[in-house]
Amino acid sequence: MEGRGFLHLRDELNLLEKYLEIERTKTYILESILMDSPEGIIVIDAEGYVAFINRAYILLSCNRMKDAIVGKRIDEVFKDSRLISVIKTGKGEIVEDSNIIKVIEPILKEGRIVGAIERLIDKKRICDFKSNPLNENKGLVLSESLNYEKGLIDPLDKIIGCSNVIKELKSKIAKIANTDSTVLITGESGTGKEVVANVIHELSPRKGNNLVKINCAAIPANILESELFGYEDGAFTGARKGGKAGKFELADKGTIFLDEIGEMCVEMQAKLLRVLQEREIERIGGSSPKKVDVRIIAATNQDLEQKVSKGEFREDLYYRLNVVRIHLPPLRERVEDIPLICNHLLKKYSKKFGKKVDGIEEKAMEYLKNYSWPGNVRELENVIERAFNFIEEGTIKLEHLPEYILKGMLLNCIKVKSKDYNHTTLSEIEKQSLINALKVCNGNKSRAARMLGISRAGLYQKLRKYGIEML
C-alpha cells in the first residue's frame, strides 16, 4: 500500500511539473511578444513595483538598463508616473505630449485591481502604421480611439474619443445593440450619426445581414414611397419590368437606417407608422402585404418635439421612433477629443494623399481646440483634408489652416478681453483686436486686414491711430 501511495504521489508531482513547465512556456512566449513590441510597455503589481518593462519603453522613456528598473518602486524610477494613481482610482488615463501618447489601464482579476499597465505610443508610428501591413498580423492592431490594442477591431473604436460623454455614449450603445428596439439618433449635422448607426448594426445579432441606408431628405416625396416599399410590375409609367424591391425588403433580417427622418412628409410618415406597428410593407401596385423582420434606426438633426407641436411631425410616429434615444454631443462640448480625432484623420489622409504628415503643431492645435466647430467632426475632417493639399510632409502648422479658423480664435480673444474688463472701451477692444490679428498672422498685414474685414490701407490707418508698432 505504501508503495502504491508513493507511486501515486510521484505521478501527481510529475503532472504538477508538466503543468508548471507549460505555464513557464506560456509566460516566456508572452514576454517574448511583449518584449519585441514596437510600443513601450511597463507593468507594475498592486504594490507599485515594476514587474515587466520592454525594450521600446526603455528607449522611448529613459534609455536605462532593464535590471535597474524591474523590481523597483515605479515612483522611485519614474517620479511623474501615473501608474500608482490609476491603481488607486481604478480609472484608465490617456496622457498626450508632443511626441508620445501614454495609455494607462488598471489590470483586473476577478474584479480586483492586481496591477496596472502603461503603453507608450509613438505618434510617428501612428502615421507610419499604414506603410507596414505586417503589424496587423501580429495582433497589434491600433484601435481608432487609441485606448488599447486588441486582436480584433472593436466596432466601438470607430467612435473616436476619450471624453466622459463619449465613454457614456459607447456604454449606452453596447447595452442597446443586442436588442431589436427602434433607435432614434439625434445631434447636430456632422456629429457622426451614420457612424453610430453602423456601430449599432455591427454589434447586433443582425450584423451578418444587410444594413440598408436611405436619406429621407435627398429623395423627392413622390419617389420616396417606391424607394422604401418597392413596386410591382406595371405599377406606374416607367416602372421597371418585374417590379423592384424596396429598402425595407432589402433590409429583411437586417437593419434599415432612415437618415434625416425629420424631413419626411406627413403622408409618408403615416405609411411608415404602419410599418413600425405591423412590421409589414406593401409594394406600390401590390395587393398583399409582406412581413419584414427589420430593426429601424432613425436619425435627425432637428427638434422633433418642436415639429410635433407645430403639426409638422406625427406625434404617434415620434413616440414609435423614440424608444431608445441616443444624443450625439457637438464637437465643441468634447474639445479634449480633438487631438485623438486629428490623429485618426492624419492616418487616413496620409494614406490617401501618399504623404508623411506626422502631427499638428502645438499652436495650430490650440486654434483647432478654440474654434467653435459649427460643422462638428465633418468640418474638422474637411479642415485636415484641406491642409494636406498645402503641405508636403512634416506637421500641419497655422499657415495650413483656413483663415476663418484663425479669425474665430481672434474673435474669442476679443470676447474674453471684453469679459475680463468691465470698463473696457470699444477703442481698447479694437486696439486689442488689431494686435491679436497681427500676432495670428505673424505680422502679415494683408492677411490681418482680410481677417479683420478691412482694407490694407484701413489697417495702416488704424495702426497709426493706436500707435501700434509694425510687427
Backbone angles phi, psi at 161, to 5 degrees: 155, 160
Which of 181, 170, 172, 169 is closest to 206 using CA atoms? 181
Highest-confidence range of 126-135, 192-201, 234-243, by mean pLDDT?
A: 192-201
Contact of 146 with 190, CB cutoff 8 Å? no
Stronger pLDDT, 451 or 326, i.e. the higher one: 326
* 120 pLDDT tier (thresholds 50, 70, 90): confident
Q: How many CB atoms lie within 10 A of CB 154?
A: 19
Amino acid at 2: E
pLDDT at 27 over 90: no
CATH of 39-124, picked from 3.30.450.20, 2.60.40.10, 3.40.1410.10, 3.40.1400.10, is 3.30.450.20
Highest-confidence range of 58-72, 210-224, 247-261, by mean pLDDT?
A: 247-261
360 vs 397: CA distance, rounded Å: 6
Can you tell me the mean pLDDT for 89-102?
A: 80
pLDDT at 465: 80
Contact of 136 with 83, CB cutoff 8 Å? no
Stronger pLDDT, 199 or 127, i.e. the higher one: 199
Dihedral, 160, 165, 168, 170 alpha carbons, nearest 10: -20
pLDDT at 256 over 50: yes
Backbone angles phi, psi at 244, to 5 degrees: -150, 135
pLDDT at 411: 54
Can you tell me the mean pLDDT for 286-302?
A: 92
pLDDT at 93 over 80: yes
The model's pLDDT over 143-181, given as tens digits with 9 standing for 90+, comes to 333 433 333 357 888 999 989 999 999 999 999 999 999
Write a three-state SS string for the chain. CHHHHHHHHHHHHHHHHHHHHHHHHHHHHHHHHHHCCCCEEEEEECCCEEEEECHHHHHHHCCCCHHHCCCCEHHHHCCCCCHHHHHHHCCCEEEECCCEEEEEEEEEECCEEEEEEEEEEEHHHHHHHHHCHHHHHHCCECCCCCCCCECCCCHHHHCCCCCHHHHHHHHHHHHHCCCCCCEEEECCCCCCHHHHHHHHHHHCCCCCCCEEEEECCCCCHHHHHHHHHEECCCCCCCCCCCCEECHHHHCCCCEEEEECHHHCCHHHHHHHHHHHHHCEECCECCCCCEECCCEEEEEECCCHHHHHHCCCCCHHHHHHHCCEEEECCCHHHCHHHHHHHHHHHHHHHHHHHCCCEEEECHHHHHHHHHCCCCCHHHHHHHHHHHHHCCCCCEEECHHHCCHHHHHHHHHHHHHHHHHHCCCCCHHHHHHHHHHHHHHHCCCCHHHHHHHHCCCHHHHHHHHHHCCCCCC
pLDDT at 323 over 90: yes
| CATH no. of 335-415 | 1.10.8.60
Contact of 296 with 252, CB cutoff 8 Å? no
pLDDT at 426 over 50: yes
* 129 pLDDT tier (thresholds 50, 70, 90): very low
322 vs 308: CA distance, rounded Å: 13
403 vs 450: CA distance, rounded Å: 9
pLDDT at 382: 94
Stronger pLDDT, 396 or 94, i.e. the higher one: 396
Contact of 160 with 154, CB cutoff 8 Å? no
Buried b (16+ CB within 10 A) or exposed e, 240-278: eeebbebbbbbbbebbbbbbbbbbbeeebbeebbebbee
The model's pLDDT over 210-220, given as tens digits with 9 standing for 90+, comes to 999 999 988 88
Can you tell me the mean pLDDT for 225-240?
A: 80
Give the position of cell 455614449: 169
Q: How many CB atoms lie within 10 A of CB 452?
A: 20
Amino acid at 367: Y
pLDDT at 272 over 60: yes
Q: What percent of the chain has pLDDT over 70?
A: 77
Q: Which region, left, alpha or beta, applies to residue 39 given φ > 0 means left and ψ of -120 to 50 means alpha? A: beta
pLDDT at 124 over 50: yes
Residues 6+ apart with CB under 8 A from 156: 145, 170, 173, 174, 199, 203
The model's pLDDT over 409-422, given as tens digits with 9 standing for 90+, comes to 555 554 444 444 44
* 200 pLDDT tier (thresholds 50, 70, 90): very high
The model's pLDDT over 339-378, given as tens digits with 9 standing for 90+, comes to 999 999 998 999 888 888 888 998 889 889 888 898 999 9
pLDDT at 325: 96
pLDDT at 40: 86
Worst-scoring range by mean pLDDT, 19-33, 252-266, 278-292, 345-359? 19-33
39-124 and 335-415 agree in CATH topology:
no
CATH of 157-327, picked from 3.40.50.300, 1.10.10.10, 2.60.120.680, 3.90.79.10, is 3.40.50.300
The half-sphere exposure of 240 on its side-chain side, counting CA atoms within 13 A, is: 9
Can you tell me the mean pLDDT for 106-128?
A: 76
pLDDT at 113 over 60: yes
CATH of 423-466, picked from 1.10.10.10, 3.40.50.2000, 1.10.10.60, 1.10.150.20, is 1.10.10.60
pLDDT at 418: 44
Residues 6+ apart with CB under 8 A from 375: 189, 190, 382
pLDDT at 316 over 80: yes
Residue ranges of domains in the chain: 39-124, 157-327, 335-415, 423-466
Amino acid at 322: N
Mean pLDDT of the chain: 80
Instruction: Find the radius of gyration of the CA atoms of the chain.
Output: 30
